Chains A and B, each alone.
Chain A
Amino acid sequence: MPDLLLELFSEEIPARMQRKAAEDLKKLVTDALVERGLVYEGAQAFATPRRLALHIAELPVRGRDIREERKGPRVGAPEAAVQGFLKAAGLVSLDQATVVSDPKKGDSYIAIIEKPGQETVAAIAEIVPQVIRSFPWPKSMRWGKASAAGASLRWVRPLHSILCTFGPETEEPEVVRFDVDGIASGNTTYGHRFHAPQAITVRRFDDYVAHLEKAKVVLDADRRKEIILTDARNLAFAQGLDLVEDEGLLEEVAGLVEWPVVLMGAFEERFLEIPGEAIRATIRANQKSFVLRDPATGALANKFILVSNLNASDGGSAIVAGNGRVVRARLSDAAYFFATDKGSLPDLDTFRDSAGTLGLDLAKPLDQRMAKLDKLGVVFHAKIGTQGARVQRIAALARELAPIVGADPDLAERAAKLAKADLPTEMVGEFPELQGLMGRKYAELQGENPSIAAAIEEHYKPLGPSDRVPTDPVSVAVGLADKLDTLVGFWAIDEKPTGSKDPYALRRAALGVIRLVVENGVRLSLAGVARDPDLVSFFHDRLKVVLRDAGARHDLVDAVLGEGASNNDDLLLITRRVDALSRFLDTEDGVNLLSGYRRAANILKAEEKKDGEGAFAAAADLQLIADAGLIEEKGLAVALAQATPKAEAAVAKEDFEGAMAALAELRPAVDAFFDKVTVNDPDPALRANRLKLLNQLREATRAVADFSRIAG
């Protein structure tokens, strides 16, 4: 069966878009083929900087014939009905229709429409231009003369040629002919821009790949990655170094070359005084090169790995020299930034009032930067105010939270005041991803307490579900203060996340608070710091997500939160309660108590309908039970009298296991009660009293959770 080969050859496609584009091409073309009944054996898509390619194996030569019957009106139907039928079925006259007889309904017309299967070549010639015209590039453009007209072709960068062949392995494949905005399909492509710029005639996928390889193009991005990684590791190994691997960079670099040639460059050792993270950041971001590590010390080496796109005639020495020069210039900049940041600012006097307000020591470089940040009035958010004011709030809150998380209040306040001080540094200005980390370095250099230095870096954490949660109490205090201030601020201006929109990463901030609190065992009353009840319930929603992701049942969280959700503002307690409830419901006692509760609740619901809501709210009359009640009734009353205060006391002590155990003690009495006692006794007094008893049971369980919200 024949194969399809398609290549779209263009100017350089952004590296970050290539993989998705190849997948989109495959999906769009194969979906359209399948929609026409053209099924295939396999499909593979590829991308290089200059081309998207698609190979579809074993397509039929033509689609299946389609036979369709269309029912028409009965014989002798009015003219209008006949005309409508002829039109819909595409017939000229009734002679072309068939008459069928039905013993009950009589004779009627049907049209038999037979469509021969479409030639696959014709289908491809229809599909591909459509796919090209509506291709889902994240950003696309117009170009050239054609762009003078309104609806000219859009592509990610100018599209130059289209190769499209179709045919079986044994024969000369045919060129699928079509035209997209003046680009006629053909069977030629081009090799490497510099090594093999001539046109290459291609027949099918096999010789396409082989021709490209000869023309210094590795079609498969994963193979390019493999080549780069292997060569990079080998070059590093030869120097006794380790490659600092970086999947994101590898993927990008593989999208910047058609013929990867891996080379090693070097820079002066003196640059190694710059923090390694900054060296890596500049070499990665600006040069798209890899850094290397000394396996003995773990420190960065003064070498880097670059990936070029050329087998240079001098073996690559000019390329290495050129890249080295740029890396040195970049590192000179970084060294200059680092030195500047460690020194005093020139215009210190203008920051005195800011330093005063914030209690900063202008003798220290990092304090100066914070004073500058405040003085410049840098805005955090137009409606929330400046960074300076924000830092003041965070410092006050961190101080307030310090005793709760077991941190020294002075350390927490100081750490908060320096937490954003690296934002106006040269280094962070150049490499925003180093925020926090540079602050920590500069804090260490000016001799801050290690917990303060750590908190400056760690207060941003956790940055995601898999990120580590800091444990140093100072970091916890500042981290909580920072995130809570952000959340409270955005809630105050009514900028809450909606649907998929969360531009200020507020969900992440709330998740951070939850993980800081739960994983560090912090007891924090949210209502006190969150102010807005809506923010508290936002936390509840996030907590549900967290607990559900951790495997907890969603309904148990609801049961614990109960109706008065806003009173439940201690995330740690909620979590512990859910844990205890979940374990309890895994026991036989738990399961039976739950079913006892449900019976009680159902009976009450039915009877309350008759007698009215709250009819049985009063305590049961113990005297009546003693005088006229059954022994099982008495048993439940006694058990409730013992278990209820026990459970309540345990809850008050936050001993949820104890509370569950107390409730478990009710089980034999509840089982016996339902076994022997008829609730709806003919005697109205006895009936009411028994219902009151059941109400007491319902209330007793409420001490730990709202059992009515438990599913299943």
Chain B
Amino acid sequence: MAGAPVSDPMNPTRSFQGLLLTLQRFWAERGCVVLQPYDMEVGAGTFHPATTLRALGPKPWKAAYVQPSRRPKDGRYGENPNRLQHYYQFQVILKPSPPDLQQLYLDSLQAIGVDMALHDIRFVEDDWESPTLGAWGLGWECWCDGMEVSQFTYFQQVAGVECAPVAGELTYGLERLACYLQGVDRIMDLNFNGLEGEDRVSYGDVFLQAEQEFSRYNFEHADTAMLFRHFNDAEAECRALLAAGEAGEGANDPRHSLALPAYDQCIKASHMFNLLDARGVISVTERQSYILRVRELSKACGAAWLKTAGGGAN
């Protein structure tokens, strides 16, 4: 919030939640619907249907939301200063991409307290690709004084479908950005609520135990036979829903009626794969075939979405 006094606990340079709220407010003021996190385990904010599916089809769309991202493989039992198996991304999606998207992004940095006269902001080539989503785009990693603080992507293809029009996607790595703003070297040391003394709550107070327990789960305890089963179940359910939602020959309404539930199952399969991968039970060759299976689901879901009202079908 531009102008919030530094003493304000909600100042983005003082608290993690202040950073979150500032970004939400900033993008709300620029016409985004501010959504809440999707209630499923995903590896990145991009998986949220508000991005993946809404990026498809002709309808304009502007949304911003925080999304917890689960990357089982990145767990370090809470011991690594900047690697976590659960962290937050702040995601902005604007379709079509506005002509001043770079400037809007820079304004958002200003809003969270980055002074452009002091800091070196750079757009460094980084082409984005998600093999499981069948998606790619061109853009940059955004650097602030040599640190990657965001990903900036112009989606070209999602779920195997050409984006028309193209959406612009911004992803802020919130913990990293907060470390930078608060001048802290370890994520767990972040001030979460901006208060001091005995009222102070750190990121570690909130998440350290979870990091430890989930690292144990991800690497040591996850029941791989069950995960394989869940993967297969989710895949089968996804396919069944895609088939069931298809309008039959001569139906009054030609639209697909189950695209969103089908996509949920695709997300589920993807997360099961990530857990299996973290457990090290998927060999290098098998890995590719699992990725392909998820991609096939996501492509089919994308195709179904285009046959819904949200996807532009009338």
Query: Which residues of A does B touch, CB under 8 Å?
Result: 11-12, 14-16, 49, 139-150, 156-158, 160, 194, 256-257, 287-289, 306, 308-310, 312-314, 318-319, 321-323, 325-329, 332, 336, 376-379, 382
Contacts and interface: CB of A to CB of B under 8 A. Distances in A.
B146 A306 contact: yes
B164 interface: yes
13 contacts: A142-B154, A148-B165, A158-B99, A310-B119, A318-B119, A318-B145, A319-B118, A319-B120, A322-B144, A322-B146, A322-B147, A326-B146, A377-B284
Nearest to A325: B185
Contacts of B284: 377-379
B125 A144 contact: no
Contacts of A325: 147, 180, 185
A416 to B, nearest CB: 22
A151 to B, nearest CB: 11
Contact of A144 (B99, B117, B137): B99
A310 B119 CA distance: 8
A382 B127 contact: no
A422 B98 CA distance: 47
A144 B124 contact: no
Contacts of A141: 137-138, 154, 156, 166
Given A142-B165, A143-B96, 9 more contacts: A15-B124, A142-B163, A144-B98, A147-B97, A149-B164, A289-B146, A313-B118, A323-B147, A325-B185
A256 B125 CA distance: 9
Contacts of B140: 12
B285 interface: yes
B120 A309 contact: yes
Given A11-B102, A326-B147, A194 B156 contact: no
A142 B147 contact: no
A149 B164 CA distance: 7
Contacts of B97: 143-144, 147, 158
Interface of B: 58, 80-82, 96-99, 102, 116-125, 127, 137-140, 144-147, 154, 156, 163-166, 168, 180, 185, 280, 283-285
Contact of A150 (B98, B116, B164, B166): B164
Contacts of B123: 11-12, 49
A260 to B, nearest CB: 11
A157 B117 contact: no
Question: In terms of DSSP, what is the predominant structure of the interface of chain B?
Answer: loop
B122 to A, nearest CB: 6
Contacts of A49: 123
B81 A329 contact: yes
Nearest to B146: A323
Contacts of A142: 154, 156, 163, 165-166
Contact of A14 (B98, B119, B120, B125): B125
Contact of B138 (A148, A157, A309): A157
A312 B117 contact: yes
A662 B137 CA distance: 71
Nearest to B163: A147
Nearest to B96: A145
A287 B285 CA distance: 33
Contact of B185 (A157, A314, A329): A329
A194 B165 contact: no
Given A144-B98, A318-B145, A323-B146, A194 B121 contact: yes
